[in-house]
Amino acid sequence: ANARVTVHPEARIDRIEPELHGHFSEHLGRCVYDGLWTDDTADEDGFREDVLGLLADLEIPVLRWPGGCFADDYHWEDGVGSREDRPRRRNLFWAQGREDVPEESNAFGTDEFLEFCERVGTEPYLAANVGSGDPQEAADWVEYCNYDGDTELADRRRANGHEEPYGVKYWGLGNENWGCGGQMTPEQYAREYRRFATYVGSMDNLMLDHDLELIACGFENHEWNHRFMEEIGNTNWGVEFPLDHLTLHHYYGRTMSIAEAGEEKYDQFLVEALEMDYHIERIASAINAVATTRDIGVIIDEWGAWHTEAVAENGLEQPGTVIDALSAAAVLDIFNHHSDVMTMSNIAQTVNVLQCLVETDGDEAWARPTYRVFDLYAPHKGNDALTTTVDTPSREVEHGDDDLPFVGASASVAEDGETYVTVTNLDCRDGHTVEVAIEGADAGDADVAAQVLFEGQDPGLEAGASNADEFAADDLGVDVDGDVLTVDLAPSTVAGIS
Active-site residue set = 176, 302
Per-residue 3-state assignment (H helix, E strand, C coil) for the chain: CCEEEEEEEEEEEEECCHHHHEEECCCCCCCCECCCECCCCECCCCEEHHHHHHHHHHCCCEEEECCCHHHHHCCHHHHCCCHHHCCCEECCCCCCCCCCCCEECCCCCHHHHHHHHHHHCCEEEEEECCCCCCHHHHHHHHHHHHCCCCCHHHHHHHHCCCCCCCCCCEEEECCCCCCCCCCCCHHHHHHHHHHHHHHHHHHHHHCCCCCCEEEEECCCCHHHHHHHHHHHHCCECCECCCCCEEEEEEEECCCCCCCCCCHHHHHHHHHHHHCHHHHHHHHHHHHHHHCCCCCCEEEEEEEEECCCCCCHHHCCCCCCEHHHHHHHHHHHHHHHHCCCCEEEEEEECCECCCCCCEEEECCEEEECHHHHHHHHHHHHCCCEEEEEEEECCEEECCCCCCEEECEEEEEEECCCCCEEEEEEECCCCCCEEEEEEECCCCHHHCCCCEEEECCCCCCCCECCCCCHHHHCCEECCCEEECCEEEEEECCCEEEEEC
Region 449-468 residues binding ligand AHR, contact defined as CB under 6 A: none
Q: Per CB under 6 A, does 131 bind ligand AHR?
A: no
Instruction: For the CB of residue 112, give the shortest distance to ligand AHR in the complex, in Å.
Output: 20
Per-residue b or e along 136-165, where b marks 16 or more CB atoms closer than 10 Å to that residue's CB: ebbbbbbbbbbbeeeeebbebbeeeebeeb
Q: Per CB under 6 A, does 23 bind ligand AHR?
A: no
Region 362-421 residues binding ligand AHR, contact defined as CB under 6 A: none
With respect to ligand AHR, which residue has the nearer C-beta, 68 or 242?
Answer: 68
- Residues ≥6 apart with Cβ < 8 Å to 447: none
Q: Per CB under 6 A, does 176 bind ligand AHR?
A: yes
Binding segment for ligand AHR (CB under 6 A), chosen from 65-73, 120-128, 426-434, 481-489, is: 65-73
Q: Per CB under 6 A, does 175 bind ligand AHR?
A: yes
Binding segment for ligand AHR (CB under 6 A), chosen from 52-60, 64-72, 131-139, 394-402, is: 64-72
Binding segment for ligand AHR (CB under 6 A), chosen from 63-71, 203-211, 237-245, 321-329, is: 63-71
Region 273-302 residues binding ligand AHR, contact defined as CB under 6 A: 302
Binding segment for ligand AHR (CB under 6 A), chosen from 67-75, 82-90, 440-448, 451-459, is: 67-75
Q: What are phi and psi of 245, to 5 degrees?
A: -145, 145
Binding segment for ligand AHR (CB under 6 A), chosen from 62-70, 281-289, 377-385, 416-424, is: 62-70
Residues 336-355, one symbol each (x = binds ligand AHR by CB under 6 A, - = not), give ------------xx----x-
Residue with the CB atom nearest ligand AHR in the bound state: 68
With respect to ligand AHR, which residue has the nearer C-beta, 181 or 405?
Answer: 181
Instruction: For the CB of residue 19, give the shortest distance to ligand AHR in the complex, in Å.
Output: 19
With respect to ligand AHR, which residue has the nearer C-beta, 175 or 457?
Answer: 175
Q: Per CB under 6 A, does 315 bind ligand AHR?
A: no
With respect to ligand AHR, which residue has the nearer C-beta, 180 or 286?
Answer: 180
Region 230-259 residues binding ligand AHR, contact defined as CB under 6 A: 249
With respect to ligand AHR, which residue has the nearer C-beta, 147 or 303?
Answer: 303
Q: Per CB under 6 A, does 69 bind ligand AHR?
A: yes
With respect to ligand AHR, which residue has the nearer C-beta, 283 or 354?
Answer: 354
Binds ligand AHR by CB under 6 A, chosen from 18, 22, 68, 408: 68
With respect to ligand AHR, which residue has the nearer C-beta, 175 or 424?
Answer: 175
Instruction: For the CB of residue 430, give the shortest distance to ligand AHR in the complex, in Å.
Output: 34
With respect to ligand AHR, which residue has the nearer C-beta, 153 or 328?
Answer: 328
Q: Per CB under 6 A, does 67 bind ligand AHR?
A: yes
Q: Per CB under 6 A, does 324 bind ligand AHR?
A: no
Its sign, for the CA torsion 387, 390, 396, 397, is negative
Binds ligand AHR by CB under 6 A, chosen from 3, 22, 23, 26: 26
Residues at the site binding ligand AHR, with contacts judged by CB under 6 A: 26, 67-69, 175-176, 249, 302, 348-349, 354
